Amino acid sequence: MCDRERGCSEVPVPKVTTWQLSAGSAVIGLALAAGLIAASGPWDSGQRKAERDWAAARVRTGGADHGRPAHAAGPAPAPSAPGVLAALGGGAAPTGKGLGQALGHLMDAPALGRTTGGVVIDAATGRTLYGSDADRPMTPASTVKLATMAAGLSALGPGHRIATTVTASADGKRLTLRGGGDPTLDRARLRALADATVKVLRDRGVGSVRISYDTSLYSGPLLHPIGPNDNLAPVSALMTDEGRLPGGSGEESDPKGSADQGEEGDHGPAPRTGDPAGDTARAFASMLADRSVHTKGAPAPGRSPKGAKPVARTYSAPLAALVERALTNSDNDIAEAVARQTALAAHEPASFAGAGRAVQARLKKLGLPLGGAHFADGSGLNRQDKVSPTLLATLLTRAGDPAHPELRAILTGLPVAGFTGTLDGRYTDPSGAGGLIHAKTGTLTGVNTLAGTVVDARGRLLAFAFMASDTASPDGAQSALDRLGNAVAACGCAG
């Protein structure tokens, strides 16, 4: 622990709040309750405001305060979590006959290509209502992030924070900037880290230092198999702003051009540095110089010398907030970081291979169906990832299980159809299911997937996953997937 008696200043982290809105009347109200609409952290930039205003005009009952007490070490499980399924459990139990009729011909749409799979599960009972090659392992694209986040939350807990630390030698003249794997470290927190470091150095009478930077927490290749790419920075334990170069912004996209559409800002494809750790260390050195602590030579890779002690530390937002951000915006850098944090918790190497083993092992502990599953990365950019529709839909039902409140951020982070994240431009037809479907998208060239939750016309919360390979047009495939989602929302499922 950093403490002032040892000369360490801990950098405060801005308070992150998560809110949830539950509605209790009609289908729209029930859908909002099922969706657990949430906003968290400064990354939101108002993207949920329209949804909040729209929902508030219709809500008359329900609601839960998901604020985090100031004294808490991490975010508490959502207070209303045990009631999510119970609130939607009224009415006759659904059957699959109606869904089979509604979905059968839609699954055969040419736009979905030659290889498809789909499943719909009643979230309250776990009963499969519809399945078409539901156990077929397929390339999930970004829907694999659901598995990555479930593993991370299960292994680490929603309150886990990732540290970035500055250590100093006994004489204070050698500093080491040690990365803990936080891709969301930004310049504001880096400046706060510099301020805290300078305060300690001034107390010791130190005016010049040598700086090294330590990325040894991660192992294996820095580059994803796709190579240098605007969708993902080199996966380093130390980086600032996900390695984005100034002026770059956009939405997540496939290396060959297909995209999960999202808002412009601090996520999505952007030019990336080839040396995120070195850039961060050099920026840190410049900040120290601005505060009259000068460096001898350029920062260089290296570990803390023997006897070095922490002098300053900053933390990421809680893991639950990172999960929400990663799912809403389909953030590849956060996904790879969460996979490696999971590997560290499992005492596996923090590499692509070690993270894949750790994710699979943690999902097995959760009792999820893993037949044919393979995790080659945490983000879904690797086409060697394989999961089944059944795994994705079962994972979503597990996230709503009162016995697993630690997984709740998976539901609160899902993009909302027509409103947020990678679904903000889909389901915009007034007659469709905009606002009712909460789902993670997945897009690679020739691969389109959608997995999420919806409340059907009888008020039953359903989890679904639809996957397609060999698609010719991303727009055509996405429209076909959206029609499947609309059909699930509209179906009464009572036979």
Q: H-helix or E-strand containing 122?
A: strand 115-122
Please answer whether residues 332 and 31 qualify as being in contact, where contact means their C-beta atoms are separated by less than 8 angstroms: no
* Edge-to-edge strand list for the sheet holding 461-469: 128-132, 115-122, 461-469, 447-455, 438-444
User: How far apart (Å, rounded) are the C-alpha atoms in residues 251 and 230?
Assistant: 10
Annotated catalytic residue: which of 9, 22, 145, 154? Answer: 145
Please answer whether residues 355 and 375 qualify as being in contact, where contact means their C-beta atoms are separated by less than 8 angstroms: yes
Residue 237's contacts (CB-CB under 8 Å, 6 or more residues apart) are 179, 180, 181, 214, 215, 216, 217, 218, 277, 340, 350
DSSP-based three-state secondary structure for 285 = helix
Is 364 one of the annotated active-site residues of the chain?
no
User: How far apart (Å, rounded) are the C-alpha atoms in residues 3 and 283?
Assistant: 25
User: How far apart (Å, rounded) are the C-alpha atoms in residues 264 and 278?
Assistant: 26
Pairing of strands 128-132, 309-315: unpaired
Annotated catalytic residue: which of 304, 330, 379, 469? Answer: 330
Is 15 one of the annotated active-site residues of the chain?
no
User: How far apart (Å, rounded) are the C-alpha atoms in residues 420 and 416?
Assistant: 5
Residue 186's contacts (CB-CB under 8 Å, 6 or more residues apart) are 240, 241
Is 330 one of the annotated active-site residues of the chain?
yes
Annotated catalytic residue: which of 9, 80, 142, 236? Answer: 142
Residues annotated catalytic, as ranges: 142, 145, 330
